[in-house]
Structure 1
């Protein structure tokens, strides 16, 4: 079997001690690398005065990793700049927050070139290379320049925007052209894949030359949708841990006479946190009888604190949470807890299990694994209810959730009221359907589908040529 090389901006393999990040990318990639021999390459998360390209190799919990440090200028221009001030807001439909700076684009190209030069000596003739996310779109182009002829796949974890929006990006055409140096490009949903195809056909004079196959820029590219899942089996084991049980018991005791609504999100403007807070506030305004009956817990670990937009949203959320508690609290209770810290995944599992409602309302999201973890954490005999944004990629799979428009506080409030009042039989019916999907469309299914299609791209090209 061919060796698999995974490449991502950050290399963050799980330690096996239950303290992994809330996000699902690290868990998903580690699961892939334990199944297929190979290594995980990317940035160490550290900076150095001058880029040297020196590799650090180690093996962590069964995963071989190779990391490289970046210069401060690389971090500012490539990571904080083009990746998180240009591509991230644009791809999440926040053109108002998108920053265009020539230095950012130059830093993005420079780091992708440096990654390619550092990675090239590690690639053996039969390896398959699987590159991840918006930070590294041009990496295949740079590897091809260095003579790499291996099969190279790319998976985009975030949304691909509508082509009319994407054309507002200076240099949008070269960025899409770089994707045609891959053999296979994968998206979270068919909707995102279609948006990409529309751009290629409308803006690059491309054409379909076969099922899920596009031709443009003189090259042929396979595309597909691969909804990422979670490791349901591993999460089930985590639910039985002592930490999960302690956190479940703690939250159950804290809400013995109240129903717990929980949200867990990285502190980011794409997650719809302001709108969510306003939706909970509307629930309290419209339903005075519920005020002492519910507690909302929002966990929002800070991220990208060097980016101004993130500093601004944190200030707004601090003010909004204070306003809600100031308006509705009494001397012996408060309706809202807003916490800016990280929790272990096993602790979060316990919190999910103790809650009556999981509130996951991003304004735009590639997939969102929090909603799947919430479902996996529920007690089958008395499950909670998932309230989910229709603009999360997961909404296409999880239709039995209460789907809402996250921009509407009234719609969020109504869904919360419906969830809190839902009888047990309906909760069980909805949960069973959701859990079946979580188990079926798990990380293994995602991994195997993408790797199998990447392995088969050469045969598909031969079939098209014949």
Structure 2
């Protein structure tokens, strides 16, 4: 039987981490094939023998092999290149990128080191599936180490337009390394198009049709594979005891007011300042919403050591304070801004009772929050999803209210339209959103990708 071997920056070695995202996506195939999962342990160690040691863990037939990072590797590979160069550039924020050749040198070295650690553990027939922007160079490293078997790569974030990608001083190096993969997958058609256009315009590549591209003397498959969620699992989460408790807790403050909810990691790609400004415009332009609508924004902090994220936190604190100062009353907080984490079940309970779900990133690979919001809704009285045209999910979820997140008046008008939408229209839109979310769930995504990477299957 062919084994699936997954490589990603972080793994689901902790069973609690398997409720969503990447873990759900690959876990069943890893279990079914007695697979391996390589990644970072989360530990930072001194340079020495331990820094090249793999730590093994086993769970449900899956072997986890984890490597530590030295401080130099963590700073160069993870903080300074992956998160301060690739992340902003791929999200069209070249102005926030911190270009540093030394950081790329460390990034490339970590990709090569981990490839050298992985390759001896591979067997004939294995299927290697690499995930996300931390390991753009991994296939090149594995090929250099001697691996000739199939390697697939899936990018969970957007891939930028050719002229934006070319802003990376190392863009040609990265593109050549990515062409060592057999299958490269993106969240959305526009990401796939951007990558192919770059290869054609900058590298002399050729689009062979049917998803095949030739570049750097290699033919690879390049397609969009929009990732899904465990749709039925999220329905169950929305009706769990924890979900009921969370809904009851916020219900004590809502009263008869309509709940508008947003849930996003604290990141400049999520468009949170623009969203807060749109909330202010809502209360400015639609006086009938004052005192009758409560907006809750849940935003767990992330990457708190990066300066841009610290500045974002300050900006959001100021905007929330101004909105509540301008519009709040003794018995009404217009915008409840919670910079902390909640469990999957608690969020599902909040989604279930929300009249409007706000998912308005400035740029996003997919954004699974919108799909979770859809699946949590009560089919007899569903809420309305407002979705940014720049989220990958907008290609699938056309029955949401699609908005330009930069146009705060447009977003405010969409919120008002959602709050006043008839039950018939809400149900029509929700059914179509539900159907595609169920049909194209996480299992569909996994099988679609692996069918191209391993045409004979994993068995």
TM-score range, shorter chain: over 0.9
Q: What does residue range 60-79 of structure 1 map to in structure 2 within 5 Å?
A: 60=59, 63-79=62-78
- Kindly state the Cα deviation for residue 386 of structure 1 after the two structures are TM-superposed: 0.3
Q: Compared with structure 1, are the counterparts of its residues 62 and 370 closer, same or farther at alpha carbon in structure 2 (3 Å cutoff)?
A: farther
Alpha-carbon separation, structure 1, partners of 2:133 and 2:396: 23
- Whole-Å separation in 2 of the counterparts to 1:172 and 1:68: 27
| 1:213 counterpart residue number | 212
Q: Which runs of 5+ in 2 are unaligned?
A: none
Structure 1 residue 3 corresponds to structure 2 residue 41: no
Which residue in 2 is equivalent to 1:412? Answer: 411
The CA distance in 1 between the partners of 2:186 and 2:410, in whole Å, is 29
- 8 Å contact from structure 1 (residues 13, 30) kept in 2: no
Give me the whole-angstrom Cα distance separating, in 1, the residues matched to 2:385 and 2:39: 35
CA offset digits 1:374-426 (Å, max 9, x no partner) = 00100111111100001000000000000000001101100000000011111
2:332 corresponds in structure 1 to 333
> 1:222 offset after TM fit, Å?
1.3
2:41 matched to 1:44? yes
Displacement of 1:254 in angstroms is 2.5
Deviation per residue, 1:1-24 (Å, 9 max, x gap): 3110011011135625xx667x72
Aligned position for 2:278: 279
Q: Does residue 15 of structure 2 align to residue 34 of structure 1?
A: no
**Distance (Å, rounded) in 1 between the aligned partners of 2:406 and 2:61:** 43
Distance 1:210 1:284, change over 3 A: closer
| CA 60–271 in structure 1, closer or farther in 2 if over 3 Å, else same | farther
Q: Distance in 2 between matches of 1:14 and 1:383?
A: 34
CA distance in 2: counterparts of 1:151 and 1:11, whole angstroms = 21
8 Å CA contact 1:13–1:63 kept in 2: the answer is: no
Shift in Å, 1:96: 0.7
Distance 1:33 1:429, change over 3 A: same
2:202 equivalent in structure 1: 203
1:164, CA displacement in angstroms?
1.1
Q: Using structure 1 for the length normalisation, give the TM-score.
A: 0.95
Give the 5 Å matches for 1:201-280. 201-280=200-279
TM-aligned CA distance change 1:294 to 1:41, over 3 Å = same
CA deviation string 1:156-183 (max 9, x = no partner): 1111100011111101111000011111
| Contact 2:239 2:349 (C-alpha < 8 Å) held by counterparts | no
Partner residue, 1:464: none
Cα distance change of structure 1 residues 63 and 321 upon mapping to structure 2, 3 Å threshold? farther
Q: Residue 306 of structure 1: CA displacement? A: 1.1
1:318-342 Cα deviation digits (max 9, x unpaired): 1111111111111222101101111
Structure 2: how far apart are the matches of 1:315 and 1:13?
34
**Aligned counterparts of 1:14 and 1:277: Cα–Cα separation in 2:** 35
Write the distance in 1 (CA, Å) between the matches of 2:58 and 2:257: 46
- The 5-angstrom pairing of residues 15-414 of structure 1 reads 15=15, 24-50=21-47, 52-60=51-59, 63-414=62-413
Change beyond 3 A, Cα 1:348–1:32: farther
Deviations 1:299-358 (A, max 9, x none): 000111111111111111111111111111112221011011111101110010011100
Contact 1:355 1:384 in 2 (8 A): yes
Aligned partner of 1:455 in structure 2 is 454
Could you say if the C-alpha distance between residues 145 and 457 of structure 1 is closer, same or farther in structure 2, counting changes exceeding 3 Å? farther
Instruction: Say whether the 8 Å CA contact 1:47–1:70 is kept in structure 2.
Output: yes
Aligned partners of 2:415, 2:157: CA distance in 1, in Å? 27
**Structure 1 position 35, deviation (Å):** 4.2
RMSD between superposed Cα atoms in Å: 1.6
Mapped to 1, the partners of 2:449 and 2:354 lie a distance apart of 34
Q: Compute the displacement of 1:122 (Å).
A: 1.6
Any idea what SS the aligned residue of 1:304 has?
A: coil
SS in 1 for 2:153: strand
Alignment deviations for residues 81-134 of structure 1 (CA, whole Å, 9 cap, x no partner): 110000000000001101100111011011101111221222111100000011
Alpha-carbon distance between aligned partners in 1 of 2:198 and 2:223, rounded to the nearest angstrom: 15
Q: Unpaired segments of 5 or more residues in structure 1?
A: 459-466
Q: Is the contact made by 1:14 and 1:27 (CA closer than 8 Å) also made in structure 2?
A: no
Aligned length: 455
